[in-house]
Structure 1
Amino acid sequence: MIISLIGYMGSGKTTTGKDLAKAIGYEFIDLDEFIEKKYAKKISEIFESEGELGFRKKEKEALREILTSTNIVLSLGGGTPVYYDNIDEIVNKSTSIFLRVQLPYLAKRLESKKHTRPLIAHLSNDEMMEFIAKHLFERNQFYEKAKYTISISNQSPLEILDEIMNQLKQEKIWL
């Protein structure tokens, strides 16, 4: 089985994914890291040399490859579900979980990490809030196709993990 974590940047997909994988004895894969290893290039370099379209093609290929595996917790890029038929592949070939974080919490989480996020590094905090709001408006229709949604505000990583584990147990996905 594959458990895919979907959500906007800063929603905690990587942290939660690592915790979940450890808790259930699965391998953890971050899609962006997988792409960087597979193509021996940083994501930023792929964007620079091939543009967003080139990156999205590589992302789709990598996603398809991973979705043939088993016993994986997969952290997806924030834009992954939006392109091609990726969301259908994700929903059909994995147990998908949307980590929904409301705008004020996302903005607060991302303010201190702006310098590590190329999409928002150059934005003021007000511009960043507007940018995130626009992205969420565009992307939520894809994110909401996930099988499960976990709403996150100020829970600890352990509380989020417990909520996911309880959901999986209720659905008899993980016993």
Structure 2
Amino acid sequence: MRPLFLIGLPGVGKSTIGRLVAERLGLTFVDTDLFVESRYHASISSMVACCGIDKFRKRERVALLELLQEQDTLIATGGGLPIWEDNMDRMLAHGLVVYLRSPLDLLAERLYRVRATRPAVAEKTPSEVRDYLEAISEKREPYYSRAQVVVPIGHLRSAEEEREAAEQVIEAIRHHMEKEDA
């Protein structure tokens, strides 16, 4: 099976849902953020601080080019990966791209709760987190909307809600593959 890619804004649940979907479908799970951190022995925030965002995006792209060759793999991308160079084109050509979409207010609430683990929003107020998400959403939506599959994601406040979201993603993937085979 060609790779599956989960894309979406920060905090939408790409890693959380991705792990559950991969486990349920018997796929290998890869989080590109963790993959890049492991490859370069540094956190994303330290890579960006030391070398700049462009250097980090280039490293992220190298990782993507390697992962495109994988089979039976679900890849949760960093939120900005699809908008860099021709990354989205490559993902669409080599795999199935699934866009996890949540309302900005819901994402802002979720990101604010975990802001200590998210350098981009660590020092922001709730309204600043919302403004940040709105700004990046405007830039990223034209890329994200090209995904072959779009799945709305609601609250992820419990393990049960996470499992339900994973089942929605699996159902959407199956539906897309059935249409493709018809």
TM-score scaled by structure 1? 0.95
Cα shift at 1:170:
2.0
Cα offsets for 1:102-131 (capped at 9, x unmatched) = 111101111110111000111111111111
* Distance (whole Å) between structure 2 residues aligned to residue 161 and residue 55 of structure 1: 29
What's the TM-score, normalizing by structure 2?
A: 0.91
Residue 95 of structure 2 corresponds to 94
Partner of 1:50: 51
CA distance in 2, matches of 1:71, 1:124: 40
Say yes or no: does 1:169 pair with 2:170: no
What amino acid sits opposite 1:104 in the alignment?
Answer: D
Instruction: Quote the offset at 1:44 in angstroms.
Output: 1.7
Percent of aligned positions that are identical: 29
For 1:4-33, what per-residue CA distance to the aligned partner results, in whole angstroms no more than 9, with x for missing partners?
000011000001100011001111000011
The residue correspondences of 1:6-155 to structure 2 (distance < 5 A) are 6-154=7-155
Q: Deviations over 1:27-59 (max 9, x none)?
A: 100001100111122212211221111101101
- Alpha-carbon distance between aligned partners in 2 of 1:9 and 1:172, rounded to the nearest angstrom: 27
Q: Distance in 1 between matches of 2:174 and 2:78?
A: 26
What is the root-mean-square deviation of aligned Cα atoms in Å? 1.7
Instruction: State the number of aligned residues.
Output: 175
Secondary structure at 1:41 match in 2: coil
**C-alpha deviation, 1:63, in angstroms:** 0.5
State which of 153, 159, 164 in structure 1 corresponds to 2:164.
Answer: 159
